[in-house]
Amino acid sequence: MKEKELDTIINKYGADPSEIMGMLLDIQEKEKYLPKKDLQHLSVKLGLPLTRIYQIATFYEALSLKPLGHNQIHVCTGTACHVRGAAGILNKLEERLGIKPGEVTSDLNFGLKTVNCVGACALGPVVVVNGEYHGEMTALKADRMLKRLMKN
């Protein structure tokens, strides 16, 4: 991201170091991860040690220092989703994408994760794609969903 864009994010939060989490989330939303050069710029502008920013960025699971992929796919593996077939859905996604949970496709188009619960147990199994919940998922539905995403 260009320094001017970073400065816009920093200024949105009044360059207040106590608002670092909001800044990091905004940067990640735009970049799909937290690039080192962006964190270095934040360190200088906020007067925070770079090590402190890294402590925050590595503590919270919502933040990532490596690219997440343009399309984020989260498969719920909580109890309700598990007993309704989440493993089969995950296997289908791994097969089609050629990656395991926690990985990103080589073209950075897809990132795959498992999550313990998304809070929609009645809809299980649930797959969340770019923040959109897809309930009563099956391996076949997951395959169709991927085909649509790959066309876009």
Q: What confidence score (pLDDT) does residue 97 get?
A: 97
Q: What is the 3-state secondary structure (H, E, C) of 122-144?
A: HHCCCEEECCEEECCCCHHHHHH
Report yes or no: 92 and 147 within 8 Å, Cβ to Cβ: no
Report yes or no: 111 and 69 within 8 Å, Cβ to Cβ: yes
The predicted model scores a pTM of 0.76
Two tokens, residue 66: 């490596």
Q: What confidence score (pLDDT) does residue 61 get?
A: 78
Per-residue pLDDT tens digits of the chain, which is 152 residues long: 999 999 999 999 999 999 999 999 999 999 989 999 999 999 999 999 999 999 999 998 789 998 888 999 999 999 999 999 999 999 999 999 999 999 999 999 999 999 999 999 999 999 999 989 999 999 999 999 999 999 87
The rounded distance, in Å, linking the Cα atoms of 132 and 56 is: 27
Q: What confidence score (pLDDT) does residue 67 get?
A: 87
Task: Map out the domains of the chain as residue ranges.
Answer: 3-59, 71-151
Report yes or no: 31 and 69 within 8 Å, Cβ to Cβ: no
Rg (CA), the chain: 18
Q: How many CB atoms lie within 10 A of CB 98?
A: 11
Q: What confidence score (pLDDT) does residue 95 get?
A: 96
Residue 25's SS3 state is helix
Please state which architecture CATH assigns to domain 71-151.
3-Layer(aba) Sandwich (3.40)
Report yes or no: 112 and 97 within 8 Å, Cβ to Cβ: yes
The b-or-e profile of 56-73 (16+ CB within 10 A means b, else e) is ebeeeeebbeeebbbbbb
The rounded distance, in Å, linking the Cα atoms of 62 and 21 is: 10
Backbone angles phi, psi at 54, to 5 degrees: -65, -35
